């Protein structure tokens, strides 16, 4: 009788004494990064949700007690925004699309050439040049804005589209990414095989190396497009004609005028909400090409 009681008191084979006391300590610890990510997501998405809800409210609804319930003034806000100064908001959007699209495309081309050259060719001063580029990555853009303004003022290019477009063409971070990706994606044996077959350097780059570098160049284009679209300081220094403003600077001028005309606050919020859509569309389109490029690269290999 006593031996049977002892057997019942002993834990089953393969179990530990603390197994029946809730989830293991490892699971509890694993919840910490998940909760941290959730808190970070809420922290970043809450302002976005506020802009989305606030854009649907009229001026009276916006300045009364605010709740996270949609209002009834989105259509009127959109009409007022389109009618403001004969639709200057849409001109600002077009300017941003021009600056970001052309600037990102030209920057991607320059980064592809430069990164491929730094990764494949061996020449004197290559590492020194690359270290200078790394220093450019670490340098804040605010330090370069005033010297760029002075240089473009000497060339009589300030207050023009080129004054915003030209400084964006060379991206140290884009060149850095292009070099790293070219080193990883373009094997040296493939380049040597092309040279042995009699192909020119341009043909090797355009027909062999560049298709391998496409996913990396898509990343460079995406980063540069977002950086130019959100850029405020450079247009603020370079431009004085508000018809050439990008969307960031245009909304800033509306916000300043809203201090004297509170009705413009609804236009600022609605404009900020609409300004996010091009970036969302770009992410969705580029993510599709990203997946296709990676899949095709895996099939070819």
Domains defined along the chain, listed by start: 78-300 (1.10.3720.10)
Residue 283 has pLDDT above 60, yes or no: yes
Contacts of 136 (CB under 8 A, 6+ apart): 172
pLDDT digits (tens, 9 = 90+) for 40-90: 888 988 888 888 888 888 877 777 767 777 878 888 889 988 998 888 999
Q: What is the pTM of this model?
A: 0.81
Q: How distant, in Å, are the alpha carbons of 6, 77, 115, 128, 283 from that of 277? A: 70, 17, 31, 41, 10
Say how far apart CA 130 and CA 126 lie, in whole Å: 6
pLDDT tens digit string along 108-148?
999 999 999 999 988 888 888 888 888 888 888 788 888 89
What is the residue whose two structure tokens read 């009681």? 5
Give the CA diameter of the chain: 104
Backbone angles phi, psi at 20, to 5 degrees: -90, 5
């Amino acid at each position: 009788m006593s031996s049977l009681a002892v057997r019942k008191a002993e834990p089953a084979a393969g179990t530990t004494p603390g197994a029946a006391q809730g989830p293991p300590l490892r699971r509890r610890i694993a919840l910490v990064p998940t909760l941290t990510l959730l808190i970070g997501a809420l922290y970043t998405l809450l302002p976005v949700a506020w802009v989305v809800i606030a854009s649907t409210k009229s001026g009276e609804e916006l300045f009364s007690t605010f709740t996270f319930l949609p209002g009834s003034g989105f259509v009127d806000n959109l009409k007022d925004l389109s009618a403001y100064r004969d639709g200057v908001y849409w001109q600002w959007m077009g300017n941003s699309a021009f600056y970001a699209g052309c600037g990102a495309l030209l920057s991607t081309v320059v980064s592809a050439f430069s990164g491929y050259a730094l990764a494949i060719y061996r020449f004197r001063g290559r590492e020194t040049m690359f270290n200078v580029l790394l220093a450019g990555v670490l340098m804040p853009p605010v330090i370069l804005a005033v010297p760029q303004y002075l240089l473009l003022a000497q060339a009589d290019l300030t207050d023009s589209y080129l004054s915003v477009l030209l400084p964006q063409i060379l991206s140290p971070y884009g060149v850095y990414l292009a070099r790293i990706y070219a080193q990883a994606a373009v094997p040296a044996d493939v380049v040597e095989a092309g040279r042995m077959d009699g192909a020119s350097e341009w043909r090797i780059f355009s027909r062999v190396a560049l298709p391998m570098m496409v996913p990396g160049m898509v990343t460079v284009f995406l980063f540069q497009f977002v950086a130019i679209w959100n850029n405020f300081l450079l247009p603020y220094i370079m431009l004085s004609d508000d018809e050439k403003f990008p969307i960031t600077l245009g909304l800033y001028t509306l916000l300043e005028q809203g201090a004297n005309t509170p009705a413009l606050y609804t236009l600022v919020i609605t404009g900020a909400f609409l300004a996010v859509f091009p970036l969302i569309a770009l992410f969705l389109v580029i993510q599709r090409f990203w997946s296709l490029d990676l899949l095709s690269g895996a099939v070819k290999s």
